[in-house]
Structure 1
Amino acid sequence: MRAALLAVTASAILLAPAPVTAAGASAGSTVRCPRVPAPAMSRPPRPSPPPAVPEQRAVGGAALATTGLVVPAGVAAPPGVTATSWLVVDLDSGQVLGGCGPHEYGTPASVQKLLLAATMLPRLDPKQTVTVTAADMDIEPGSSAVGLVEGGRYTIETIWLGLLLNSGNEAANALARLGGGGNDATGGVRAMNEQAHHLGALQTHAVTPSGLDGKGQFTSAYDLALIARACFAEPTFRRYVLTEQATIPAQPKQRTKGFQIQNENQLIYRYPGALGGKTGFTDLARHTYVGAAERDGRRLVVTLLGAEPAPKRGWEQGAALLDWGFTLPRDASVGRLVEPGELTATPSAAPSVLAAPGASRPAAASGPGRTGSGRLWSVTALSGAGVLVLLGGLLWRSRRRLT
């Protein structure tokens, strides 16, 4: 099966149009991404990523298989940012408007919580009241927490708000445990990886549900766009990420008072038309960000990895890229987001992952293929996931502080 699918991909490479490069660049050349210098500071060495898999780097279009800038010919240059990779995408059509190193591996930090949301929102009843366990409270000391207490009773909706507004790592553990059907987050993380591969996010491998750094945990700007698109398709998610404040209720048995939490994503307060998103930071990942906005009936999402907080914070860099995206013609495109299930279809039905933007393609399969045990298997994802698991542990040098 793998050989058959690779044959489809190889054929598509021969038929794909020449990469779309920045204005003035020759076809096939690497265009440097616009960057602004960040202040000198002490940073831990970034983890070594797995070897690149050519088929995965070309998912969504041949032009996206670059370490540099890819934008439609003749458009204005995007703003300089400190992020090492980014992508701007039309949420509704799935067309990629431009990016920098779309398929370069990066460390997710708390934007990983979007994969948790894409996986668990359909599984969990927001009205159900659940009990927080000791396993849920097992998070890195000093890392981001919303303030849940062991033995406390909360609705699942309250836990979601604690996750998406305040980036609570104990909330992530609880939701992964509840959605994964076990006594800890292990089953939930496994489900997250299955969901990533179903969405076509072949460069994403989750080790923790919260985004706390773990050996072999990576993603890409392209993968984050796939995950974000799945999240924003959920009305409940859209409501949560636009919520400005919420109440964490008192727990009389644990002698804790109720308190208010506020949404940490400044985009929703300061950017007209903001739809919400997620912030992230660890020492290793630096600042990561996903944000979406609507203007004149057009919805765009930006994803960025590896940013520094100066001269502009992550959300401000995202806002600048959104502004740029909204200036582009509605038919501008350098690639597309694959559809859920498209890359896990059978080889005979699998469309080319390198199809030209806007090209017609067979309908995606209704769902992923599964073994008797219920585990998702993707023909192309297997090799990528194996590389991540086997090599990640050997190459990772971990520091795990998350805010």
Structure 2
Amino acid sequence: MRARFTSSVAIVAAVLIGMSGGPAVADPADDPTTTTATTVTTTPFTTPNTDNCPNSSSPPKAIDLSEVPAPGDPTPQPLPIPDEPVGGDELGDCGSVTPDGAPALPKEISATAWVLSDLDSGAVLAAKDPHGRYRPASTIKILLAIVALRELDLNRVVTGTIADSEVDGTRVGIGPGGRYTNLQLMQALVMASGNDAAHAIAAQLGGDEAAVRKMNDLAKSLGGMDTRTATPSGLDGPGMSSSAYDLALFFREAMRIPKFAELIHTEQVQFPGFPPDPRIPADKDHPAFTIGNDNQLLYNYDGALGGKTGYTDDARQTFVAGAERNGRRLGITLLKADVLPIRPWEQAARLLDYGFSLDRDASVGTLVEPEGKAGTTTTSRRQQSSGVTLAAPPVDATASRLPKSNDDDFGWAGPLVFVLLGVLVVLALLYWADSLNRRRNRH
């Protein structure tokens, strides 16, 4: 049975939709994030040990049949391991990596792999098994969001299909015949992790296979050498893998898109309903309903920017988020975590607190820049001692990615206008002086 995504907001949405006669979503009993109190363990908790690099080439063995190829399809082989660790030598370590002289890491972190980074400078502040390969679950929707925001018209209206409404996993509540703008689909994708929204978006990108291909091409162009997407939504599939480092790359790139930053910071929006389903006798109109953001860090952490949650039976808890304090923006990515001994967003909060406590020049590596994008260079204390320099982003990383306005086609006009105005002013002054001189001569 294919693993299913769940989220606490989907449960709230289910109640709201159910009250209004709308479609059902995931069962709360399937969601390990719905606990209302911190889970207490009966035995001492130990952070997973990855020192021996158990996942250097492939994720842990699947517990179900979600990654079995379809009949006739080949079994994907593990992605090649780069000769040099992407982002710097220290990020080739599989255990915990911290800057020289840094304090001890927070306790009670169940995430098997994580990366703490600076969203602006690109510095990796600390990490654990950063290039270990794991299943990303719904956090891979960040890649789909980038592709969609680059290619789709957010004002375009599309009609919901039966196929949208029948996808596996968590569904926001798209119904056949419903009319949705791409902006509303993006809200459903990013805020409520709707797999039905992912399906509707992928259809506009050429279908699931084409969308996956675009996501994989994007991952590679961003420097994500550990990532192979198998489904647009993040449902587990043959060959699926990513790493905490790659997700940090993807999140940083997404945060350069103002609309994405707005989406992950939005707490709730109204979502359209849909007409009666002709397949259901005496079905009635399904009214609009409210969807909420499923990232609890957004509501509970000072300075939270938002992020993306994920879960499948094989991936376990995955989490990507960012926060800002004193003009500094940090990102955190967690893979293969559990609601143990504290929830993933609480683990992220502790690691963000740790990052904000470090010196601004603390670093163990860097988030590489996308292909064809130049950056300035920065060095950490360890890099200075070893003579290694690593790329960091330019100050304004967003401007070069925004579409040019039509005014840019006439960039030559500005200077010419000023020259012509100057000539006219000079001629006017000469004419005035000549007139004044003639009047004086008459007297």
CA positional deviation for 1:250: 2.5
How has the CA–CA distance of structure 1 residues 115 and 105 changed in structure 2, closer, same or farther, with 3 Å as cutoff? Answer: same
Trace 1:364-379 onto structure 2 (pairs within 5 A): none
Query: Against the structure 1 CA distance between its residues 92 and 67, is the aligned structure 2 distance closer, same or farther, given a 3 Å change threshold?
Result: same
In the alignment, what sits opposite 1:27?
Answer: none
Which amino acid in structure 2 is aligned with residue 158 of structure 1?
Q
Amino acid at match of 2:249: L
Q: Is 1:148 aligned with 2:174? A: yes
> How far apart in 2 are the matches of 1:342 and 1:101?
27
Q: How does 1:204-223 map to 2 (within 5 A)?
A: 204-223=227-246
2:249 is the counterpart of 1:226? yes
Task: Evaluate the alpha carbon distance shift between residue 118 and residue 240 of structure 1 in structure 2; reply closer, same or farther with a 3 A threshold.
Answer: same
Q: Specify whether residues 191 and 224 from structure 1 end up closer, same or farther in structure 2 by C-alpha distance, changes over 3 A only.
A: same
Q: For residue 278 of structure 1, what is the amino acid of its counterpart?
A: K
Partner amino acid, structure 1, of 2:236: D
2:159–2:177 Cα contact (<8 Å) kept: yes
Amino acid in structure 1 at the alignment position of 2:371: G
Alignment-derived partner of residue 286 in structure 1: 316
CA contact (8 A) 2:223 2:246 kept: yes
**Who is 1:328 aligned against?**
358
| Residue number in structure 2 paired with 1:69 | 96
Unaligned stretches of 5+ residues in structure 2? 1-44, 50-60, 68-74, 278-284, 375-385, 402-443
Q: Does residue 157 of structure 2 align to residue 125 of structure 1?
A: no
Q: Could you say if the C-alpha distance between residues 270 and 306 of structure 1 is closer, same or farther in structure 2, counting changes exceeding 3 Å?
A: same
Partner of 2:441: none
1:91-123 residue CA offsets vs partner (Å, 9 max, x unmatched) = 001111010000000001110111111221111
Counterpart mapping for 1:251-262 below 5 A: 251-252=274-275, 254=277, 255-262=285-292
Matched, 1:158 2:158: no
1:139 to 144, 163, 167: 167
User: Is contact 2:111–2:334 with CA below 8 Å preserved after alignment?
Assistant: yes
Q: 2:195 aligns with which of 165, 169, 172?
A: 169
Kindly provide the amino acid, as one letter, of the partner of residue 55 in structure 1: P
Q: Output the CA distance in 1 between the equivalents of 2:322 and 2:392.
A: 26
SS, match of residue 88 in structure 1:
strand
Q: Name the SS of the counterpart of 2:356 in structure 1.
A: helix
Separation of aligned partners in 1, 2:263 and 2:373? 30
The equivalent position to 1:356 in structure 2, one of 366, 384, 388, is 388
Max Rg structure: 2
Are residues 1:275 and 2:298 paired? Answer: no
Question: Residues 361 and 249 of structure 1: is their aligned pair in 2 closer, same or farther, counting only changes over 3 Å?
Answer: closer
1:91 to 119, 126, 136: 119
2:220 aligns to what?
Answer: 197
Counterpart of 1:106 in 2: which secondary structure?
coil
Equivalent-residue separation in structure 1 for 2:391 and 2:262 (angstroms): 33
d(CA) in 2 for partners of 1:266, 1:234 = 22
- 2:176 and 2:275 in contact (8 A); partners too: no
Q: 1:106 to 1:56 in 2, by over 3 A?
A: farther
Aligned residues: 314
- The amino acid across from 2:321 in the alignment is G
2:128 aligned partner: 100
Change (3 A) 1:60 1:250: same
Contact 2:132 2:243 in 1 (8 A): yes
SS of the equivalent of 2:94 reads coil
Paired residue secondary structure (1:121) = helix
Encode CA deviations 1:329-370: one digit per residue, 9 max, x unaligned.
Answer: 1011111111111599xxxxxxxxx993546899x9x99xxx
Following TM superposition, by how much is the alpha carbon of 1:137 offset from its aligned partner in structure 2, in angstroms?
Answer: 3.3
Aligned twin of 1:9: none
- From 283, 292, 304, the equivalent of 2:334 is 304
CA contact (8 A) 1:137 1:173 kept: no
Other-structure match for 2:295: 265
Instruction: Give the CA deviation at 1:151.
Output: 2.3
1:317 deviates by 0.8
> Which residue is equivalent to 1:317?
347
CA deviation map 1:203-224 (0-9, x unaligned)? 1111111111111000000000
Structure 1 unaligned spans of 5+: 1-33, 345-353, 368-403
Cα distance in 2 for residues equivalent to 1:357 and 1:333: 12
- Aligned letter for 2:110? T
Give the 3 Å change call, closer, same or farther, for CA 214–63 of structure 1 in structure 2. same
The CA distance in 2 between the partners of 1:295 and 1:360, in whole Å, is 20
Distance 1:36-1:116 versus aligned 2 partners, 3 A rule: same
3-state SS of paired residue (1:122): helix
The residue identity in structure 1 corresponding to 2:305 is L
Q: In the aligned structure 2, how far is the partner of 1:249 from the partner of 1:343?
A: 39
How far did residue 311 of structure 1 move?
Answer: 1.3
Q: Greater shift after overlay, 128-137 or 271-280?
A: 128-137
User: 2: CA distance between counterparts of 1:189 and 1:168?
Assistant: 17
> Distance in 2 between the 1:116 and 1:234 partners?
13
Offset, 1:304: 0.8
What does the per-residue CA deviation read over 1:218-276, in whole Å, with 9 as the maximum and x for residues that have no partner? 00000000000111111101111111111111324552111111111011110010001
Partner of 1:109: 137
